[in-house]
Amino acid sequence: MTAGAPRRIRTVKVRARGEDYRIVQVQGNLFVCSRAHGSCCCGWEEKGRAPDLDTRWAEEWERRKIRSRLHLTFSGCLGPCAAGNNALLHLLGRAIWLAGLNDAALVPVVYDWAEAMLAEGRVLPPPPALAGHVYERFAPAPAGSFVPLVEPEEDTSDGLERLDPVCLMDVEPATARHRAEYGGRLYLFCAPSCRRQFLADPTAFVETEA
Ligand code: FES
């Protein structure tokens, strides 16, 4: 990848509370079952699960600056409690279930795998360290059963002028106080901390095309 025009982040129009919003289309979401969010087994040391991994998951996610591609959610019970600690990586349209994540050393391995799939744009086999942790929880969908829920929009990239590229919040252009120019366009930020992060390394938040 070389420097050039900032890549268009895709957004989709969503209507809520009588207003239209532009929501960034991410490539995936990592759901980590967390005791802090009401899980009944994952994260419970007294039930034989590794405790206190939430911080590790969050720090690794922040460090990699993949927010605009892969969202991280700490969830309550995901269902397969006996196999905890559990996580669900929903990536590139595929639900990838991970069980027995009871070693902090597996956290970067999961992210490395996710980033490799993001870079290639396709689902890849799990790395050896995760081979025994990955399984299919969902029954496969019948061939040809995919039904688009809405008509695709012709251009899903407008509205980006309102988007804080760091936290992905919608920012009102008329009143935005925190701004910066990069790659020939203006970016708005919800707070000075987002602007600082952006200016420290813009390419971490606005990818460029060759
Ligand atoms: S408590 Fe984690 S899957 Fe149920």
Distance 95 CA to ligand 1 centre (A): 16
List strand residue ranges (DSSP E) for 59-196, in order: 70-75, 87-91, 94-98, 134-135, 178-182, 185-189
Neighbour-count burial of 147, counting CB atoms closer than 10 A to its CB (0-12 exposed, 13-18 middle, 19+ buried): exposed
Domain with CATH 3.40.30 in the chain: 28-135
Distance 35 CA to ligand 1 centre (A): 8
Helix axes of 54-64 and 106-120: crossing angle, nearest 10 degrees: 30
CA quadruple 181, 182, 188, 190: dihedral positive or negative?
A: negative
**Cα gap 66→73, rounded to integer Å:** 13
How many Cα atoms within 13 Å fall on the side-chain side of residue 54?
15
User: Which of the four CATH numbers 3.90.1480, 3.40.390, 3.40.30, 3.90.930 does domain 28-135 have?
Assistant: 3.40.30
What is the model's pLDDT at position 206? 74
**Atom of ligand 1 minimally distant from the CA of 78:** 3
Distance 40 CA to ligand 1 centre (A): 6
> How far from 61 is each of 11, 72, 109, CA to CA, in Å?
22, 7, 12
What is the model's pLDDT at position 155? 56
What is the model's pLDDT at position 158? 59
Q: Locate tokens 């069980």: which residue?
A: 99
Does the Cβ of 41 fall within 6 Å of ligand 1? Answer: yes
**Cα gap 86→79, rounded to integer Å:** 9
What is the model's pLDDT at position 159? 61
Does the Cβ of 53 fall within 6 Å of ligand 1? Answer: no
User: Which residues have a Cβ under 8 Å from the Cβ of 18 and sit 6 or more positions away?
Assistant: none
> How far from 169 is each of 6, 81, 172, 191, CA to CA, in Å?
18, 33, 10, 10
Pocket test residue of 31, 32, 33 for ligand 1, highest count of atoms within 8 A of CB: 33
Distance 97 CA to ligand 1 centre (A): 12
Does the Cβ of 32 fall within 6 Å of ligand 1? Answer: no
What is the model's pLDDT at position 156? 53
Q: Return per-residue pLDDT of the chain as tens, 210 residues.
A: 333 444 556 778 888 999 888 788 889 999 999 999 999 999 999 999 999 999 999 999 999 988 888 999 999 999 999 999 999 999 998 999 999 999 999 999 999 999 999 999 999 999 999 999 999 999 988 888 888 888 776 655 556 678 888 887 888 888 999 999 988 888 899 999 999 988 988 877 776 543
- Scanning the chain, the segments in alpha helix (DSSP H) are 54-64, 106-120, 192-200
Does the Cβ of 80 fall within 6 Å of ligand 1? Answer: yes
Distance 129 CA to ligand 1 centre (A): 22
